[in-house]
Structure 1
Amino acid sequence: MIKMKISIINNYPGFNKGNEALLNSILTSLNDKFPDAEFNVYTYDLELNYSIKKDYIRGIKVNFHRELGKIGINKKLIRTFLITVSLLLYRFPGNIKIFNGNGIKEFADSDLVISTGGDVLTEDYGPRSLYSCYLNILYGKLLKKPVVLYAESIGPFHNAINRRMSKIVLNKADLITLREELSEKNLKEIGVNDPIIKVTADSAFLLEPADENRIKEILNIEGPGIHPGPMIGFSVSSIISDYGFEGIENKSEKYEMYVRTISEAVDHITGKYDATVIFVPHVIHPRHDDRKVANDIKKHIKDISGCVLIEGDYKAEELKGIIGKCDLFIGSRMHSTIASTSMGVPTIALAYSQKMHGIIGKMLGQKKYVIDIKELDKDKLISKIDEAWSDRESIKKDLSARMEDVKNLSKQNAELVYGVMARLKKGI
């Protein structure tokens, strides 16, 4: 048995609980296939990432390093240049290394490079984000490492330059696993056909929630306003409004429209169903803090006595456990809806990109309960909430019937990685 050294790139856990759910479930799956593997995770904003303060995640040894490739200006550009040259030197014998810190040696010594960021390989977040992710992938190929894109949503690519660049970079991968079929279509359209390509499922479907006692402890701390009766959860987002409300051009006005739409839905829920409404934050970055959005919504709610805002910084497993307590969930964050559906909670997904449509809509058969942000308004959201509430028992049964197959697809990600490495490395 060979001890593997695995580098994970393009994942931003800690402040992004969706990425944390991806990372933690991937670590568990890969550690099952490669016992005692050494994991190095390359990310950014380390000072905001609680995970780097821990040497182990779910009992697995993990080392965190600052992201290697970052397209930017001034110091970022200089640092990226030095890292690129230093990695290039690792291809040649000798010990001349001009920039040997920050996990460069660990990356150069790795047996496998895995990219897993959910949907970072897209135009949705701008070219600089996309090109930074591609640079990290190319670093792996520069050092002649096997590179795997693990349970990703990829594309679509509309810009001609991005299409060409994506074709070149993605064709260099050894294996691409995708979490929905729309991504496979996107890859075919731009001519990506060299790697092994398989449609599997998001790895976070395998994430185990925190234990019952821990969930009760958190709810006692955060939710003294929770009363007997139903509980309906919300995941909100500071960026989703940018993609909707097409009749409005100003981003601040779009955001205000989103806030008011959610607040009116909350008023409807508390008035009609006498339910506790709980806001579960999935991103807590200072620039994009779901807790701030929830507080902005709270200002417009008529009766806040039945509303609970989770204010603490909790692990992805803990948030999944909280979401699992809900009788209905409305999610603007992808992995909040993966958490809810995998726990059998009837879910309304607010979609700004293909991932919600492909995963929640098609794979889980919940197309009826996916609302595109471009079509969101108060009446549509309230109507869909009422419909899902009335149909909640049927939805639970449907999700339960599908989930075993979906989780088996999730498990295939690590199995496919093992297969690739078995062919490349004799003796595994």
Structure 2
Amino acid sequence: MKITLMGLEFFINNLGCEALAYSFVSELYDIAKKRGESLDISTIVFADRGTPHIPETDIPIRCIGIHYKSLPFWKEIIKEFKACDYIFDFTMGDSFSDIYGIKRFVLDALVKTVAIKSGTPYILGPQTYGPYNRSLVKKWARWIMKKASFIYTRDGQSKKLAAELTGRDIFLTTDVAFALPYEHKVMEKTDKVRVGFNPSGLLWSGGYTRNNQFGLTLDYRKYCQNILEKLCYNDKYEVYLIPHVGTNSKFEDDCENDSAVCRLLHDRFTNTKIVDEIMTPMDAKGYIAAMDVFIGARMHATIGAFSSGVATIPVSYSRKFEGLFGSLQYDYVIHALQDSTEDAVKKTIQYVEEFLVLKSKIETSMEIVNDKQKLFRDSLIKDVFQ
């Protein structure tokens, strides 16, 4: 079985995107193994710095680097698309939208169009659809979705939007990264409540435009500082700063860099501890799993916490958070597009204090996750790989 992947990265220094890639390839490996088939994977990536290794597998994965201005790149992917059996496209989980800018959408949509024109079955993997704020973007997105062989989504809001745009049946599952494997990090015993805090470099910078690109109603920097002030000066808590993007970055001024923000916050709140031994999404999840509570604005960092049973407080800057966690009947989300800084801080501290209630709720929600993951796996076997 020869498969080409799109919108999944292994070396991009964004552990959320990498978590999607490792999780889905592991799923494909399990399916191929049960069917007694070999698996050959190519992936079209921005970062082609090596050969990915998926734990406990021997899958050969070839990375094709994206070079939009290179004619040989376009010739190579046309050849690749025509030669494979299936094309799976995840669009980084949340980038099938124009919230990150029109240029990013258009360039990605061009590759999607080439994939569709190849005639090979093109499958949209579980992801967020929209919002589409421009008429051109909405029309192009509608065309892409109508041409897809199958459309999977990870939340109810996206299902509704995709169905309205296309008139098609949309398969609702959940984020594949809930199944990311990991090893729980062993830490020293303590009587204190361990709180993991994941500051987003992107929100700290004001987005790619550095001018509150996402329209937050709270002051994100002030929110982070106020949360740490309340936690760090309370002997009940032990606070760990955990980056999820930029963990291997050498560029301090990169607007995506969580690690740089962790260092800035640590300089001010010196009794915090920085987790800086993270190389892969599995490493990150292992450390996050050792927390009692986790506060994060990187969605896949919160998915790592949630799926390992840690009381999770997602900080939402996009409806992808409300869509995903709402579909799991989990309401302990900070709404950065609605809440004031004061209200967000107050709710966060309240949730931290009630973390055992959150943990109990997550146990129930994970039953929903497990059911949705099984439905997705069954659909791949019965519908796609029939």
TM over 0.5: yes
Give the aligned partner of residue 416 of structure 1.
379
- Secondary structure of the structure 2 residue equivalent to 1:413: helix
Q: Go from structure 1 to structure 2 and tell me whether the alpha carbon gap of 1:83 and 1:297 turns closer, same or farther (over 3 Å shift).
A: same
Which of 362, 365, 377 aligns to 2:329? It is: 365
Which of 221, 242, 264 aligns to 1:296? It is: 264
Give the aligned partner of residue 92 of structure 1.
none
Scaled by the length of structure 1, the TM-score of the pair is 0.79
Deviation at 1:420, TM superposition (A): 2.9
Give the aligned partner of residue 314 of structure 1.
279
Which structure 2 residues correspond to residues 88-107 of structure 1 after superposition, within 5 A?
A: 100=76, 105-107=79-81
Which structure 2 residues correspond to residues 25-424 of structure 1 after superposition, within 5 A?
A: 25-35=23-33, 36-47=38-49, 52-68=50-66, 76-77=68-69, 79=70, 81-84=71-74, 86=75, 100=76, 105-116=79-90, 117-189=92-164, 191-194=165-168, 196-210=169-183, 212=184, 215-216=185-186, 228-241=191-204, 257-284=219-246, 285=249, 286=251, 287=254, 288-301=256-269, 304-305=270-271, 307-360=272-325, 362-367=326-331, 369-423=332-386
1:296-352 Cα distance to aligned partner (Å, 9 max, x none): 222333xx12x1112234221121121111111111000011111112222211111
Deviation at 1:56, TM superposition (A): 4.3
- Secondary structure of the structure 2 residue equivalent to 1:277: strand
Q: Go from structure 1 to structure 2 and tell me whether the alpha carbon gap of 1:379 and 1:188 turns closer, same or farther (over 3 Å shift).
A: same
How many Å separate the matches in 2 of 1:349 and 1:159? Answer: 28
Deviation at 1:228, TM superposition (A): 4.7
- Secondary structure of the structure 1 residue equivalent to 2:27: helix
How many Å separate the matches in 2 of 1:282 and 1:363? Answer: 24
How many Å separate the matches in 2 of 1:56 and 1:392? Answer: 33
Deviation at 1:143, TM superposition (A): 1.5
User: Which has more helix, going by share of residues?
Assistant: 1
Deviation at 1:422, TM superposition (A): 4.0
Deviation at 1:405, TM superposition (A): 2.2
Answer with 1 or 2: which has the greater Rg.
1
How many Å separate the matches in 2 of 1:295 and 1:415? Answer: 44
Aligned length: 370
Contact 1:235 1:333 in 2 (8 A): yes
- Secondary structure of the structure 1 residue equivalent to 2:295: strand
Deviation at 1:8, TM superposition (A): 0.6
How many Å separate the matches in 2 of 1:363 and 1:389? Answer: 22
Deviation at 1:227, TM superposition (A): 5.8
How many Å separate the matches in 2 of 1:407 and 1:364? Answer: 11
CA RMSD in angstroms, aligned pairs only: 2.7
Contact 2:302 2:312 in 1 (8 A): yes
How many Å separate the matches in 1 of 2:212 and 2:73? Answer: 39
Q: Percent identical across equivalent pairs?
A: 22
Which of 4, 9, 30 aligns to 1:7? It is: 4
Scaled by the length of structure 2, the TM-score of the pair is 0.87
Q: Go from structure 1 to structure 2 and tell me whether the alpha carbon gap of 1:249 and 1:37 turns closer, same or farther (over 3 Å shift).
A: closer
Contact 1:43 1:66 in 2 (8 A): yes
1:206-225 Cα distance to aligned partner (Å, 9 max, x none): 11222x4xx23xx68xxxxx
One-letter identity of the residue aligned with 2:97:
T
Deviation at 1:123, TM superposition (A): 1.0
Deviation at 1:126, TM superposition (A): 1.0
How many Å separate the matches in 2 of 1:316 and 1:8? Answer: 19
Where in structure 1 are there 5+ consecutive unaligned residues? 71-75, 87-99, 221-225, 424-428
- Secondary structure of the structure 2 residue equivalent to 1:234: strand
One-letter identity of the residue aligned with 2:122:
V
